[in-house]
Amino acid sequence: MSRVMIFGATSAIAQEAARSFAKDGASFFLVARNQTALADIAADLKVRGAQSVATHIADLSDLDSLSGLCDKGRAALGGIDVALIAHGILPDQKACETSVDATLGALRVNALSPAALMIRLGEILVAQGSGSLVVISSVAGDRGRPSNYVYGASKALLSVMGEGMAFALGRAGVNVLVVKPGFVDTPMTAEFPKGALWASAKSVGEEIAAAVRKGKRGIIYAPFWWRFIMLIIRFAPGFIVSKI
Amino acid sequence: MVDPVVKPMSWGRYPRLAQHVVGMSDRHAALPLPTEGSVLPYGLGRSYGDSCLNGGGTLIATRGLDRFISFDKESGEIACEAGVSLAEIIEVALPHGWFLPVTPGTKFVTLGGAIANDVHGKNHHREGTFGCHVKSFELLRSDGTRLACSPETNADHFAATIGGLGLTGLVTMATLQLKRVASAFLGGQSIKFGGLDEFFELSAESAASHEYVVSWIDCLGSGETLGRGHFLRANILSAEEAAGRKQRKALPLTVPVMPPVSLVNHLTLKAFNAAYYNRQSPRVAEKIWDVDSFHYPLDAIANWNRIYGPRGFLQYQVVVPTADQRDVSEALLEEIARSGKGSFLVVLKVFGDRPSPGLLSFPMPGTTLALDFPILGDETFKLLDRLDAIVMEAKGRIYPAKDARMSPASFARGYPNLETFRKFVDPRMNSSFARRVMERA
Ligand SMILES: Cc1cc2nc3c(=O)[nH]c(=O)nc-3n(C[C@H](O)[C@H](O)[C@H](O)COP(=O)(O)OP(=O)(O)OC[C@H]3O[C@@H](n4cnc5c(N)ncnc54)[C@H](O)[C@@H]3O)c2cc1C
């Protein structure tokens, strides 16, 4: 049964991916900030079939603590089969535009922290000679847009780093997977139809779990057809992108 | 990013009302109350009429409350947040030999919705309503109070909230006693019957021998053929009987688009009903079902409610007390047959006498009849008013979960506990249904 470590375990997509792994009887080491939310998720995963669930409260913007955290998770699980990096915030773009601190703060949580984790987890998995390292990026990282370029830049870093690591670590038997979701609906109102571009956190989470089971590596879009939308957007001339 | 537009509707797609939606996903958090106006919990919108709608107000969508809390595989006690669906409970519990003690005809309802309508199923004659198996729940009121409710503690709020139509507060989580099952299969018979006398004989004879009993009546039969139909009865198979059987994976069928007009009209009805009645030639057919094909045949077709077209439809369900059940059922069927307006099938079932725990619970000892009506204008509403009159005369009642048009007088007559219930209504909660039938002149 797989041993799964999740950073940002209270994110909706991470939760759904975890439920999918729980059905197969996985063991978990979950990291997040909010104690009650984490305890609720742990209980939920146990009922859904998880073998065991350990939780750890941490502030993932504390970069110095991240290496230790990875080691703790590995020790608790006795090895890592899947590491999922799912934390991130949607920064206040307007505030960032006139504040260096706000921008660096956002990049710290969304880019530096996952990057630090990717390096350390990469090391652990390579030493093991197996495992999947999954990072949740976004289609927003494929092109800079006027309305969210700080968020987009943080995701661009993850995408490029993940893509490179996928090539590099593939040789050592480690699957690095970058997931780029499109518009994801909050689970709170997922029942209401909203149009074709919206996907539920549940479907994205299940796609991630399925990709991991198949041993995929590299970049996947969720749902897959965002690849084609983004292909068009990447080649669109600047005067169009400046308006979206 | 882009804000999605949401248009909540009930399952009958009638009425269509403008309302706000806010979501709730943390059961420890306060109710997301708007600064003004009323709120109403909204589960999966499987109620047909306007009891799950709050036109001009706000709906609190509960599907984000979808976490399990605990499951004792020895005792079958399961605790979950109120937005968990019955389908999800089955998925978790059935592999361990536990099933819902009571289930409606769709598994796409939430735990909170099942409580708020105190739903019933094909085993009502044995197990009573859903509420009979709810051990406890937490009720969150708009003033922030959290009440732990059970038959022992806050028993008055417990009774008001079961069948309480979402008006007494929001149920955040509940504990349910599941039922042991030896397999995921059912075995039994489908029996053709020619009329109501035969139906009541079969019902009486099967109550003791079969856990699940329900009938379909050809609602266009009249005169000689009035009340003819199929009687279905089943028990859960033992592990030996079910050995080697595999649950069928349902094909993903759907009604993908809205047809411009209702596909249900007098011609399709006649053909369908006759074909349905005649599909089985011997009087008795032995049958085996899996859980889905027995309990949830309609769930196999996503969005089947679209076949009634853009105007939507009305579902009508009533219960008439035991004393005159035969004659009143006959009078109702005659009126429906005469109109030629009913849907494919009428569902008929004899309820048992286990008391319903809710102040406003629908089931009571007697016979229940349910069917759909495409909305064909004023005539449809007039027909239902005539049916109401027959039901009221017989001291029966109409099911709010299926209603979009009953009169305040019919509601008050059907539910004598209404005045007691009013004391438990949360001052910030309201619904289109409540405004229509419960507001005092
Ligand atoms: C195909 C089909 C078959 C059906 N068969 C049956 C049947 O056999 N027997 C039967 O009894 N019913 C049946 N129904 C009706 C259905 O079971 C009920 O309407 C059920 O209550 C719907 O649950 P929901 O989660 O969709 O709730 P909604 O329809 O969204 O809401 C129903 C009510 O529950 C309240 N509510 C929802 N969540 C909460 C909460 N957390 N706290 C407090 N109040 C809440 C709402 O305010 C509303 O008043 C059927 C419906 C369909 C579509």
- B316-372 pLDDT, tens digit each: 999 999 999 999 999 999 999 888 777 667 899 999 999 999 999 999 999 999 999
Structure tokens of B338?
A: 């005469």
Q: What's the B327 CA to ligand 1 centre distance in angstroms?
A: 30
CB contact under 8 A, B64 and A195: no
Q: How many CA atoms lie within 13 A of B319 on its CB side?
A: 24
- What CATH number should be reported for the domain holding residue B103? 3.30.465.10
How many C-beta atoms surround the C-beta of residue B222 within 10 A?
15
CA distance B356 to B63: 26
CA distance B357 to B45: 23
Q: Which domain covers residue B172, as residue numbers?
A: 68-181
Query: In Å, how far are A139, A184, B196, B241, B281 from A198, measured between CA atoms?
Result: 13, 6, 50, 45, 48
Q: Residue B256, exposed/middle/buried by CB under 10 A (0-12, 13-18, 19+)?
A: exposed
Residues B385-407: what's their mean pLDDT? 98
- ipTM (interface pTM): 0.92
Q: How far is CA B207 from the centre of its chain?
A: 21
Residues of chain B found within 8 Å of residue A183, distances taken between Cβ atoms: 1-2, 4
* Min distance B292 CA to chain A CA atoms (Å): 20
Structure tokens of B339?
A: 């109109």
Residue A1 confidence (pLDDT) = 65
Instruction: Name the 3-class secondary structure at B118.
Output: coil
pLDDT at B6 over 70: no
pLDDT at B276 over 80: no
Q: Are strands B77-81 and B68-72 parallel, antiparallel or unpaired?
A: antiparallel
Q: Which residue of A has its CA nearest to B92?
A: A48
CA distance A171 to A151: 31
pLDDT at B3 over 60: no
How many C-beta atoms surround the C-beta of residue A126 within 10 A?
17
Non-local CB neighbours of B148 within 8 Å, separated by 6+ positions? B136, B138, B154
Give me the percent of chain A exceeding a pLDDT of 70.
98
Q: Which residue of B has its CA nearest to A186?
A: B64
B357 and B262 fall within a common domain: yes
Q: Which residue of A150, A188, A198, A226 to mutate against B (max B Cβ within 10 Å)?
A: A188
- Tens digit of each residue's pLDDT (9 = 90 or more) over B169-212: 999 999 999 999 999 999 999 999 999 999 999 999 999 999 99
Residue A198 confidence (pLDDT) = 84
Query: Do the beta carbons of residue B47 and residue B67 sit within 8 Å?
Result: no
Residues facing residue A56 across a β-bridge: A31
pLDDT at B283 over 50: yes
pLDDT at A234 over 90: no
CA distance B133 to B178: 8
- What CATH number should be reported for the domain holding residue B397? 3.40.462
B115 and B223 fall within a common domain: no
> Is residue B371 in a domain?
yes
Residues B146-153: what's their mean pLDDT? 98
> Is residue B56 in a domain?
no
Q: What's the A116 CA to ligand 1 centre distance in angstroms?
A: 48
B104 and B198 fall within a common domain: no
Q: What's the A11 CA to ligand 1 centre distance in angstroms?
A: 29
Q: What angle do CA A210, A215, A217 make, to 5 degrees?
A: 100
- What CATH number should be reported for the domain holding residue A53? 3.40.50.720
B154 and B196 fall within a common domain: no
CA distance A25 to B340: 54
Query: In Å, how far are A119, B228, B272, B314 from B345, measured between CA atoms?
Result: 63, 11, 9, 14
pLDDT at B4 over 60: no
B159 and B259 fall within a common domain: no
CB contact under 8 A, B63 and A193: no
CB contact under 8 A, B6 and A192: yes
Residue B1 confidence (pLDDT) = 34
pLDDT at B256 over 90: no
Handedness of CA A5, A6, A10, A14 (dihedral sign): negative
Mean of pLDDT over chain B: 93
- E-strand spans in B246-391? 253-254, 284-290, 301-302, 313-321, 345-351, 366-374
A189 vs B2, B6, B92: nearest CB: B6
Residues A172-191: what's their mean pLDDT? 87
> Is residue B4 in a domain?
no
> Which residue from A136, A122, A127 is spatially nearest to A168, judged by alpha carbons?
A122
Residues B291-299: what's their mean pLDDT? 93
Q: How far is CA B218 from the centre of its chain?
A: 21
Residue B441 confidence (pLDDT) = 56
Number of domains in chain B: 2
> Is residue B51 in a domain?
no
Q: A112-121, B142-151, B331-340: which has the minimum mean pLDDT? A: B331-340
pLDDT at B243 over 60: yes
Residues of chain B found within 8 Å of residue A148, distances taken between Cβ atoms: 1
Give me the percent of chain B exceeding a pLDDT of 70.
96
Structure tokens of B161?
A: 């909230």
B152 and B277 fall within a common domain: no
B255 and B164 fall within a common domain: no
Query: In Å, how far are B49, B209, B431 from B38, measured between CA atoms?
Result: 19, 48, 8
Query: In Å, how far are A121, B10, B14 from B312, measured between CA atoms?
Result: 55, 10, 5
**pTM confidence score:** 0.95
B200 and B176 fall within a common domain: no
Active site residue A149: no
- Residues of A (144-173) whose Cβ lies below 8 Å from B: 148
Q: Which of A21, A151, A221, A226 is catalytic?
A: A151
Q: Which residue of B67, B88, B175 to mutate against A (max A Cβ within 10 Å)?
A: B67
> Is residue B392 in a domain?
yes
> Is residue B340 in a domain?
yes
* Min distance B170 CA to chain A CA atoms (Å): 15
Q: What's the A129 CA to ligand 1 centre distance in angstroms?
A: 51
DSSP A112: I
Higher pLDDT, B236 or A242: B236
CA distance B358 to B362: 9
Q: A68-77, B257-266, B357-366: which has the minimum mean pLDDT? A: B257-266
Number of domains in chain A: 1
Q: Quick one: pLDDT band at residue A188, thresholds 50, 70, 90?
A: low
Q: Which domain covers residue A23, as residue numbers?
A: 3-241
Query: Do the beta carbons of residue A159 and residue A141 sit within 8 Å?
Result: yes
Residues of chain B found within 8 Å of residue A195, distances taken between Cβ atoms: 4-5
B255 and B157 fall within a common domain: no
pLDDT at B418 over 80: yes
Residue B123 confidence (pLDDT) = 98
CA distance B139 to B150: 10
Q: Which residue is closest in CA terms to ligand 1's atom 8? A: B104
* Min distance B17 CA to chain A CA atoms (Å): 14
> Is residue B419 in a domain?
no
Residue A232 confidence (pLDDT) = 87
Non-local CB neighbours of A183 within 8 Å, separated by 6+ positions? A197, A198, A199, B1, B2, B4
Query: Do the beta carbons of residue B31 and residue B140 sit within 8 Å?
Result: yes
Phi and psi at B6, nearest 5°, equal -115, 140
Phi and psi at A93, nearest 5°, equal -55, -45
pLDDT at A190 over 80: no
pLDDT at B220 over 90: no
Query: Do the beta carbons of residue A162 and residue A117 sit within 8 Å?
Result: no
Query: Do the beta carbons of residue B425 and residue B168 sit within 8 Å?
Result: yes
Mean of pLDDT over chain A: 94
Mutate which of B19, B119, B398 for ligand 1 pocket (most atoms within 8 A of beta carbon): B119
Instruction: Name the 3-class secondary structure at B370.
Output: strand
Q: Quick one: pLDDT band at residue B432, thresholds 50, 70, 90?
A: very high
CA distance A118 to A66: 10
B169 and B199 fall within a common domain: no
Per-residue DSSP letters for B216-266?
Answer: EEETT--GGGTT-EEEEEEEEPPHHHHTT--PPPPP-EE--S--SS-S--H
> Is residue B325 in a domain?
yes
B290 and B367 fall within a common domain: yes
